[in-house]
Each structure stands twice: as structure tokens, then as C-alpha cells.
Amino acid sequence: MSVQSKKRYRKILFLTWFLTLDLIMFGAFVRLTDSGLGCPDWPGCYGSVTPVGALSEIRQAVSVMPDGPVTLPKAWIEMVHRYVGALLGFLIICISWMAWRHRQSFKQTPTLAVVALIAVCVQGAFGAWTVTHKLMPVVVTGHLLGGMLLLALMTWLAAREREHLPVASAMKGYKPWMAFGFALLCIQIGLGGWVSTNYAALACMDFPTCHGEWLPEMDISSGYSLIRGLGEMPNGEMISQPALTAIHWLHRNFAFLIFVYLGALAWRLRTDQGLRGPATLLFALLFAQLLTGLTTIFFQWPLLIAVLHNGGAAGLVLASVTLLVRLSRAGSTAVRG
């Protein structure tokens, strides 16, 4: 019975991991299509389970503001995101319950699964706050980071269940370097989320300079003021171009640090057969991120490329966490958690 339970657990786990990755990309689609307030209440849409029950309210909102945040397509985009998020939460509840119930036969601590359950509950709260705080940048960015954290936890859980070639004990010394690289990656994802939530992707339309200068005029204090509304300065005025420039410029230049550090580390880790797969993926995704990042500038932020850029960041997270899990096993003959 424990063997069947383990198989069932793994199937649900990998399905949930895949759904988490998809939900992060779909969340980017929601944000980039300005659908975050497609249903301006939570958890329903004008108190209804679906936008169908809110047609009169949606039509009234469209009649007042034809180009506003509320339209029927945007309402469906937002609600589908919520439906998938609810399904994800249910699956993680199942994972946590199974991990706890079969903790002795699985020979694994259920702590990580319980942490994932707490994380998805916090994500649900951030989803509600995103709406109730009218897309406040710090809340939306926190929602993105929470999604990436949840992906990291699900990747960690999934990586414990995957077979791989043994990792040489000499590679264990690279674990702190990989952990530091992952911390840098999290900072960069936060900076990227801040660019997206403040709509600063096109604040610099040239490359490698910004407004024709290596160090353009910037207002860092206003750009990175956390407690302010969408499109606003701390004093309530409309956000300035120097503030948007600061947001874009810092994310762009920090990306080169990530590219060099993680690129060099991934190239070194590729020499070990047990690390070659995720290290190669990490290396390839760094180039893909550079390409999609530059393309958003040259093609003025097309939707598909912007979503792929967000997905690439998620890919970097899963590759980095997989490397961390395998590095922690270096020198061990066991290849499965």
C-alpha cells in the first residue's frame, strides 16, 4: 500500500509543480494585459462566482470607462487565474496531508510540504491584497516573489523524488556559491517585478546606454519608495521619468552581474555528470533571459516576449534549486530522496 501511495504522491507532486510554473507565467499574462482589476473585488467577480453572473456590472463599468481596467475579457483572465490558484491550493493541501500521513513509510519529513502549504496560503492573501490595494506595486511584487518562492519549494519537493547520477563529493564545496547565486537571483527577480509592476520596461529605449548616457538622470529614492500607489510618487504626484529610469536602469545593470556570476558557476558545474542537466539548463536560460530582455526594448515590450521573460526567470529558479538539492547530496550514493 505504501508503494502505491508513494506513486500517487509523486504524480500529484509533479502535477502541482508543473501547475505552479504555469500559474506564474499566467500571472505575468494577467499583469501585462492589465487584467489585475478585471474583477475589482475578491474572491468573486462583483460577488459572483464567474463573470457571467456579473455581466450587468461589467457592462456598466465599460460604459463609464471604455478603456478602463474592467472589461469582460479581462474579467475572465483574472478569474481563470484565481480558479487555477484555488486548484493549486487544493493540490498542495493533498500533498501536505499525504506527506504527513505517510511520513514513516515515505521515510521523509513532512516539514517541507507543510511549509509549501503555508506559502500557498500567504500567496492567496497576497492575491486578495493585490485587488483590494488597487495593484499597489509593493503588493504585486510581493505576490510575484511569493509565487517564485512557492515554485522553489515545489521544485525542492520534486527534486527529492527524481533519480539522477551521483554527484562527486568534491562538488559539495560549490553549494555555498550556488546558494549565494540563488540569493542574487531572488534580488534580480524582485527588481524585475518592480519594473513590471511600475510599467518601467520601456523607460530606457536604447541599449547599452540609457537615454544616450551610461549614467542617466535618475530619482532612485522615489522610484524605490515602497509605500505608494500605482503610477504615483511618494507625495501622490504622477511618477516621474527619472524615477522610472532608475527602476529600469538598476534591473538592467544588475542583470549583468547575475549573468556573469551564475554563467561562470553553471559552466563549472557542468563538468559533473550528476549536475550537468540542470547546470546546462541554467546556462541556456541565462542567455535566453538576456535575449528576451533586450528584445522587449527593441520591439517595445511585446506581450509574448514579456511573458517568456517572466517564464525564464521561473526556469532559473527551478534550475538553481535543483542544483542546490543535488549539491547537498554530493558524495552520497543515494540518488533519490
* DSSP assignment of 260-308: HHHHHHHHHHTTSTTTHHHHHHHHHHHHHHHHHHHHHHHTT--HHHHHH
Residue 162: partners with Cβ closer than 8 Å, 6 or more residues away:
336
Cα–Cα separations (whole angstroms), residue 58 to 72, 75, 131, 223 = 7, 8, 16, 33
Output b/e per residue, 118-135; b: 16+ Cβ within 10 A: ebbeebbebbbbbbeeeb
> What single-letter DSSP state applies at residue 229?
-
Residue pointed to by grid coordinates 524582485 = 190
Active site residues: 78
Are 45 and 79 a contacting pair, CB within 8 Å? yes
Distance CA 96, CA 117 (A): 7
Residue 144 CB coordination number (10 Å): 25
Phi, psi at residue 105, to the nearest 5°? -75, -30
Output b/e per residue, 233-257; b: 16+ Cβ within 10 A: beeeeebeebbbbbbbbbbbebbee
Are 210 and 216 a contacting pair, CB within 8 Å? yes
Name the grid cell of 272. 559533473
